């Protein structure tokens, strides 16, 4: 009898141990699955970060290239007031300013809405009062820039050879510079303009660069980057010569961080 009871006890113990082993195996499988999912998510996240960084850098270069391309056409314009009036545009355009542009990836871009966002921070048409409103980005009141579309096209068409392969679309706008305090942002009185380039691309990449242009005694342009917004608010660029007021001496070439479009020296 004792032997039978021992056998029954041993059999019950084995059955209990087989249940514990199954539970441990299931927990191990769940743990390995969780580790595998975590690894996949980490890899995917790193890939997305790298992709977004690459798109951001390419967008920055696209905006820079758009500025450089538009400058070549500005050089040929004798009366910059025609640019400020919107009657003179760059040759770097892909048609009229109305209608949507379809970007790679399926997103659409409305050029007039881009200009409205720059002028008053909304996609609808801006009133004069809205454009004159003092904000952190536009603190000059009645002298706030009134951006006019000047150049807009895909980066693939920036040179006629067709050798550029880029998914970015660039919009370049021109306005009277805010340092001119004549109260009339529709007219240029000091030979200085402001230019703003916005590049749009994959993954909602969006880069903005603003520069100033000034006529010099040599009838050439001096260029100075005054700000860089979008994803790189605190970045600084100083590879271009600083803009000087025509007829004045350039006493400083130090650039600081842009704040509301002004340079902090």
Q: Which two tokens stand for residue 203?
A: 């993954």
H-type helices in 107-206, by residue range? 111-120, 128-131
What per-residue confidence (pLDDT) applies to 31? 85
Residues 243, 90: Cα–Cα separation, whole Å: 22
52 vs 33, 45, 137, 154, 227, CA distance in Å?
Answer: 28, 10, 26, 20, 22
User: How distant, in Å, are the alpha carbons of 59, 124, 150, 224, 230 from that of 206?
Assistant: 7, 20, 18, 21, 6
Dist. CA 100–CA 135, nearest whole Å: 29
Six-digit token string for 53: 């960084």
Residue 42, pLDDT score = 79
- b/e 70-106 (16+ beta carbons within 10 angstroms → b): bbebbeeeeebeebbebebbbebbeeebeeebebeee
Could you list the mean pLDDT of each consecutive 10-residue stretch along the chain, which spans 265 residues? 59 61 79 84 77 82 92 90 92 90 86 94 94 92 94 90 87 92 89 93 89 72 48 38 37 37 34
Q: Cα separation of 66 and 199, whole Å?
A: 8
pLDDT in tens, 149-180: 999 999 988 888 878 888 899 999 999 988 88
pLDDT of residue 217: 62
Q: How far apart are CA 178 and CA 192, in angstroms?
A: 9
Q: Give the pLDDT confidence score for residue 214 in this predicted structure.
A: 86
CB-CB contact of 211 with 224 (8 Å): yes
pLDDT digits (tens, 9 = 90+) for 107-142: 899 999 999 999 999 999 999 999 999 999 899 999
Length of the chain: 265
Q: What pTM was estimated for this model as a whole?
A: 0.69
């Amino acid at each position: 009898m004792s032997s039978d009871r021992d056998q029954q006890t041993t059999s019950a113990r084995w059955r209990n141990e087989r249940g514990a082993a199954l539970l441990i195996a299931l927990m191990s499988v769940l743990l390995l699955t969780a580790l595998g999912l975590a690894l996949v998510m980490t890899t995917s996240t790193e890939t997305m970060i790298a992709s977004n960084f690459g798109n951001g850098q390419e967008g920055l270069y696209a905006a820079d290239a758009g500025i450089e391309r538009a400058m070549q056409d500005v050089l040929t314009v004798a009366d910059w007031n025609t640019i400020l009036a919107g009657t003179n545009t760059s040759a770097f355009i892909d048609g009229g300013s109305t209608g949507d542009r379809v970007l790679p990836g399926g997103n659409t871009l409305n050029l007039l809405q881009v200009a409205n966002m720059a002028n008053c921070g909304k996609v609808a048409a801006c009133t004069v009062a809205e454009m004159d409103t003092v904000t952190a980005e536009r603190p000059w009141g009645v002298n706030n820039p009134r951006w006019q579309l000047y150049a807009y096209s895909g980066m693939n068409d920036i040179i006629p050879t067709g050798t550029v392969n880029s998914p970015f679309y660039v919009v370049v706008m021109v306005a009277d510079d805010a340092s001119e305090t004549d109260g009339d942002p529709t007219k240029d009185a000091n030979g200085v303009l402001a230019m703003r380039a916005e590049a749009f691309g994959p993954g909602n990449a969006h880069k903005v660069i603003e520069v100033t242009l000034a006529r010099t005694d040599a009838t050439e342009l001096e260029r100075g980057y005054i700000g860089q917004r979008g994803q790189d608010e605190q970045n600084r660029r100083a590879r271009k010569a600083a803009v000087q007021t025509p007829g004045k001496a350039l006493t400083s070439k130090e650039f600081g961080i842009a704040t509301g479009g002004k340079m902090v020296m």
